[in-house]
Amino acid sequence: MEAEDDKLELMFQKADSVLDYIEYRLEYELKTKHPDPAGQNNQSLGTVVKNPVAVLQDLSAIKSRYRTLYARFKSVAVEQKETKSHIYATLNKTMTMIQEL
């Protein structure tokens, strides 16, 4: 069970790194290649592309939701480990009592 918890935690850490990288790349692209001082949408091949500033705001909201989810996961993982320890302790006590009987 702990192996799955560790694996899930690593997945969260990797996702956080990916989100940070995406945010960095978007900011870089926005500053260097797609300046839009008027605040209008960019045009690319005849289709309207979402304003990069709005994309960055959406990314910030996603990161916030991700951090909330990660905080919930951490608290559940801690409670799960505590419960498992309690179950093992109770089981050991029970086994000792059975052996004494």
For the segment 30-86, what is each residue's pLDDT rounded down to a tens digit? 777 766 555 554 444 334 456 767 777 788 888 888 888 888 888 888 888 899 899
Secondary structure class of 44 (helix, strand, coil): strand
Alpha helices in the chain (DSSP H): 2-32, 52-100
Is the entire prediction scored with pTM above 0.75? no
Residue 21's pLDDT band, with cuts at 50, 70 and 90, is: confident
Distance CA 10, CA 53 (A): 30
Q: What is the pLDDT of residue 8?
A: 75
Structure confidence by residue, pLDDT tens digits, 87-97: 999 999 999 99
Q: Is the pLDDT of residue 24 over 70?
A: yes
28, 35 Cβ separation under 8 angstroms: no
